[in-house]
Amino acid sequence: MNYIFIESDAQLTPLMDALSADPEYISFDTEFLRERTYYPILCLLQLCIDGRVFLVDTLNKVSLDKIISALVNAKCPVICHAGSEDMEIITGLARKFGLNRLYPEKYYDLQTASSFVDGTSNVGLCTLVEKYLGIVLGKTETRSDWSRRPLTEEQISYAVEDVIYLKKIYDIFSEKLRDRPEVASFLERELKNEAQHYTEIRNADTTYLKLKGTGKLNSKKLRIVHALCTLRQQVCEYDDIPLSFFIKNTVLVKLADAGVFNVGSLIKTGVNGQIARKYGDLIIRTALKASADKSRPVLKTFDAVNQHPELRAVKKEVENYAKKRAGEYAIAKDLVVSRRLLEDFMYTTMYTDSSKSLIEQGWRGEMLGSMDSFRKRIQKICNIPRED
């Protein structure tokens, strides 16, 4: 298996030459660790450029700024599979290096594309490679420790296979969509939306809106959830620990509902003992301040929709309608009407006046058409004034 392993700046020349030679395509993947940190630790960057594979050992002193700049500024298709976390790393590095672009212009995710080509969602790379190329890939290194050095032969083989087959599947998908120009246009716009989404910085102010179990909380308790979400984000970013290490989502809701009085009550509710002892006073002060601050803006959460039987019924009708339309285009249904998209439509209609929801914008809006009949029923149930 041919590849070039790069672990120092002195070995970068062939990679930079390949990137600067106006390549036909670039395939990429990353291997990283994130079990005990907020920010992913990049361990290996794999690139396949016009058939040549480069493995960049990012734990060694390799200057990544020129590589990332060439990648995000590439004019050719830049192909990956299930690239959400990979793109989080790439866009984060691009921002760190002060680059004008944060993502490739022709970013292409095969997992997203398969939702349009085959109508199947969340398809693994092994499945795609076996289905379209008849090659069975090994899965033994999926949970491998990529910080270990030296890398094993099995790890190297796995890393190379993650990028060498992507272009062949890209070509097959492009051919399949050649006679479906409208769907090809939908895919192109969805990929651009995804790439832009990966550049967004996580907003703690809206995290609480998505938590389960918040639908029955009153304004006072929602203020506590909101404040604790913001505190958690700040602490985890600063200390570089996972959000769940600080306080899990379910525990956040329990704390707000039960009330926070002392470190013992934090531990009893489910906060890790070490976290409770280190941050307990800060958590309690934050909760009490939010509880008393009636001026703190707070909104009903997505979960509120699920507490109302008539709203649940309308949501189900919206879901069935969107699934039917997706089926007519042979597009994966959850790409059009996932739980997140459904919640966004209901929430936007209920709480944000005339703003358009995500499924009413872009290619989804074109495919689904007017959603006004659903909107009016929701507004009537919620007694929301509307313009006729």
Taking only the tens of pLDDT, the chain with its 388 residues reads: 799 999 999 999 999 999 999 999 999 999 999 999 999 999 999 999 999 999 999 999 899 999 999 999 999 999 999 999 999 999 999 999 999 999 999 999 999 999 999 999 999 999 999 999 999 998 777 778 999 999 999 999 999 999 999 999 999 999 999 999 999 999 999 999 999 988 887 777 788 988 999 988 999 999 999 999 999 999 999 999 999 999 999 999 999 998 877 899 899 999 999 999 999 999 999 999 999 998 888 888 888 878 888 999 999 999 999 999 999 999 999 999 998 899 889 988 888 766 899 999 999 999 999 999 999 999 899 876 554 4
Residue 305: predicted pLDDT = 79
Nearest to 29 by CA among 4, 64, 54, 51: 54
Residue 159: predicted pLDDT = 96
In contact, 103 and 91? CB cutoff 8 Å? yes
- In three-state secondary structure terms, 40 is coil
- How far is 128 from 173, CA to CA, in rounded Å? 11
Residue 353: predicted pLDDT = 66
Q: Which two tokens stand for residue 160?
A: 């190379």
What single string gives the DSSP state of each residue in 69-128? HHHHT-SS-EEESS-HHHHHHHHHHHHHTT-S--S-TTEEEHHHHHHHHTS--S--HHHH
Residue 300: predicted pLDDT = 82
- How far is 190 from 139, CA to CA, in rounded Å? 29
